[in-house]
Structure 1
Amino acid sequence: MPTGSRLVAAICLAILSAIIAEMVKPLMPEATVFGKFTYVTAFLGLIVGWTHLGARAGGSVVDGVNNGITAVALLVVFALLVFGSYEMVDQALRHRYSNLLQALRGILAIGVDYGQYLLDVEIIVTLVVGAVVSGLITEFAYRRWR
């Protein structure tokens, strides 16, 4: 059911994920073609915000902070799996994998490689602060538009 807290959570995580996407771009190799990277990441933020963070609103302030951190962690894992899958399909079309198991391992390996770009101090601080702020704003929205 659509609620104000779900909408606010979706917007918060979409903005946070777009900011993180723009922060990651300079850390990637120069030959990287980003295409719609920021838009896809923001869309993933919308999905996670709506389904996870907004749906769990309604507790205390501590619950809001915990929900925000959990939602951002879920967003990071979800984004790494999505972009790892996309890259795996691209490599599979170039006949890099000989069977399905190698392709599935490839998703995890590519996701881990992409995850290393997120180990920058500025990105980690932005993720943590964004998670806390998103959780608190979502809790405020839940109380305001209950």
Structure 2
Amino acid sequence: MPTAAKLFGAMAFALMAFFTAEIVKPHMPESTNFGYMSAVAALVGVVCGWMVMGPTAGKGYYQSVGAGMKTAVVTAAWALFIFAFEAMLRQTMRNMYDGPMEAVVDVARFFVDYGAYLFFPDVATVLLVGGGLAGMLTEWAAKRWK
């Protein structure tokens, strides 16, 4: 059921994911082709904001900060998986793998490699503080339009 909290959660986490992706870009190698990285991250933020944060709204501001940080980490994990899977598909198109198991294992390697960029202080700050603020905005919408 659509609610104002789910809508605000979707919008807030889309912004948080978009800005997190933008903050990550300077840390990556110069030869990286980013393509639709920020847009894909924002789309993942919409889905996670709607499905993860939206239903947990209405329990108070204190809990909304924790729920927002949890949603931010879930958003980052799903975005990392999507980017790792896309990198594996790119490698597959170049016939870089001898078998399907090697490709599946490489998804995990890409996930860990890309996940390392989240531990830069500015990226982690945007991710966690932005998640907490997005959670508070979602809570505000839940209380405002109950």
Say yes or no: TM over 0.5: yes
Aligned partner of 1:3 in structure 2 is: 3
Aligned partner of 2:101 in structure 1 is: 101
The answer on 1:122 being equivalent to 2:128 is: no
Aligned partner of 2:48 in structure 1 is: 48
Distance in 1 between residues matched to 2:114 and 2:24, nearest whole Å: 10
- Residues 34-113 of structure 1 correspond to what in structure 2 (within 5 A)? 34-113=34-113
- % identical aligned pairs: 34
Distance in 1 between residues matched to 2:4 and 2:85, nearest whole Å: 32
Deviation, 1:41, is 0.9
SS at match of 1:54: helix
The answer on 1:30 being equivalent to 2:30 is: yes
TM-score where L is the length of structure 1: 0.96
- Which amino acid in 1 is paired with 2:139? E
Aligned partner of 2:20 in structure 1 is: 20
Distance in 2 between residues matched to 1:23 and 1:69, nearest whole Å: 17
Deviates more, 1:90-99 or 1:17-26: 90-99
Deviation, 1:35, is 1.2
Q: Deviations over 1:26-54 (max 9, x none)?
A: 11111111111111111111111011111
Distance in 2 between residues matched to 1:130 and 1:3, nearest whole Å: 21
Deviation, 1:115, is 0.9
Distance in 2 between residues matched to 1:34 and 1:111, nearest whole Å: 16
- Which amino acid in 2 is paired with 1:137? L
Determine if contact 2:68/2:131 at 8 Å carries over to the other structure. Answer: yes
Deviation, 1:99, is 2.1
Distance in 1 between residues matched to 2:70 and 2:98, nearest whole Å: 36
Distance in 1 between residues matched to 2:104 and 2:55, nearest whole Å: 31
CA RMSD of aligned residues (A): 1.0
- Which amino acid in 2 is paired with 1:86? E
Deviation, 1:60, is 2.0
Gaps of 5+ in 1: none
Determine if contact 2:14/2:44 at 8 Å carries over to the other structure. Answer: yes
Distance in 1 between residues matched to 2:37 and 2:128, nearest whole Å: 21
Distance in 1 between residues matched to 2:21 and 2:2, nearest whole Å: 27
Aligned partner of 2:134 in structure 1 is: 134
